[in-house]
Amino acid sequence: MIKKLGIPKEVKKDEGRVSLIPEHITQFTGLADIFVETNAGLGSGFTDEDYQSAGAKIVPTAHELYDISEIICKVKEPQEQEFELLNSSHVIFGYLHLASNLSLTKMLIEKKLTAIATEMIMDEDEYPLLIPMSKIAGNLAVQKGMQFLEYSSAGKGLLLSSISDERNSKVTVIGCGEVGKSSIHKSIQIGAFVTAIDVNENILKELKNKYGENISTHISGSDEATEAIRTADLVVGAVLLPGRKPPIVVTQEDINQMEKGSVIVDVAIDQGGCVEGVTPNTHSEPFEIRNGVIVSAIANLPGAVPKTSSIELSTNLQKYVDNLLIENWFEEYSKSENLKPSLQIHSGLLLSEEVAESLSLSLSKLV
């Protein structure tokens, strides 16, 4: 039986990405009818005509797309204006980050639909759909930090990049996974001195061996780490616990001790944030100022570069869509060690241990 897969236009504020680009949907011919909401790809540089040429059918409204489609292939989690469009026959396939969103989780449970968090798909102990967005976010964290340090943004008026042999700017990166490593590499490339903070000594040793005198490393929670946070020009919070809320690694007291005009970019905001008291920002209102320190927590940071992000996302996402297009897809999906962690809600049941623990909800198991 041919499945019906819908690609909606993202409605999250300042979100221009699209889940699948035209060149990646042709492979599903014969397996699924592809429906694309009009202008869904426009923010990423793909027109309705591009999708039609690839074999998709363009529908004029979100209501019609959701009514027709069984599988809703999204970038970001459903927004409030989309809630009424969802029903129990839907399979939502996208970045959900439920561990920081109690109201969304409860709504998805009440709808009795199936919700698959693509950020939790695994392949040989890695998260192939999280890695490309993490690398983009790590680069953008430094790029945004450079912008916010400018005088016009109420920053301290410091050029993060080096124009001489003097390294006159300091970047502290907390959490050295894919986001952190990308931020570290970008910062060193432009000539900043970097301090890396992590709980894993082996990762810190690898970074020290790679970058030598351009980097210092400290174990998270140490006095040296605290000092590195408080004296930095730019702090990048890049802590990630897959599927769970991250710990608070930058406190309000840390912020109070920082020089006015310094910048903090919390890249962990999609999972709840790693800066004390942080609330999500948008690309159009990208930061708040606390005690003279700029704190930015843009929830969909890779959305700043939707064309780059959509191509990277679609390139990886396409490899997993066909798992939903076979007749007994749920039985096979739920038995796969790599795919099962992403199957978070089904028929009113919360199946994710990480989400249940983070939100203090009851965990269910499939029988």
Identify the CATH class of 3-127+305-359: alpha beta
Identify the CATH class of 131-299: alpha beta
Confidence (pLDDT) at 125: 87
Burial of residue 288 (CB within 10 Å: 0-12, 13-18, 19+) is middle
Q: What is the pLDDT along the chain (367 residues), one digit of tens a residue?
A: 689 999 999 999 999 999 999 999 999 988 999 999 999 999 999 999 999 999 999 999 999 999 999 999 999 999 999 999 999 999 999 999 999 899 999 999 999 999 999 999 999 889 999 999 999 999 999 999 999 999 999 999 999 887 766 667 999 999 999 999 999 999 999 999 999 999 999 999 999 999 999 999 999 999 999 999 999 999 999 998 888 899 999 999 999 999 999 999 999 999 999 999 999 999 999 999 999 999 999 999 999 999 999 999 999 999 999 999 998 999 999 999 999 999 999 999 999 999 999 999 999 988 7
CA dihedral 348→77→357→123, nearest 10 degrees, is 100
Residue from 361, 297, 354 nearest 144 by CA: 297
- Residues marked active site are found at 97, 270
Per DSSP, 126 falls in state B
Residue 203 one-letter amino acid? I
Residue from 64, 14, 15 nearest 38 by CA: 64
Q: How far apart are CA 293 and CA 45, in angstroms?
A: 36
Confidence (pLDDT) at 30: 86
Domain boundaries, the chain: 3-127+305-359, 131-299
Confidence (pLDDT) at 12: 94
- The answer to whether the pTM exceeds 0.75 is yes
- SS3 at position 144: helix
Q: How many residues does the chain have?
A: 367
Confidence (pLDDT) at 4: 97
Q: How far apart are CA 67 and CA 56, in angstroms?
A: 16
Fold match between domain 3-127+305-359 and domain 131-299 = yes
> Cβ(116)–Cβ(321) under 8 Å?
no
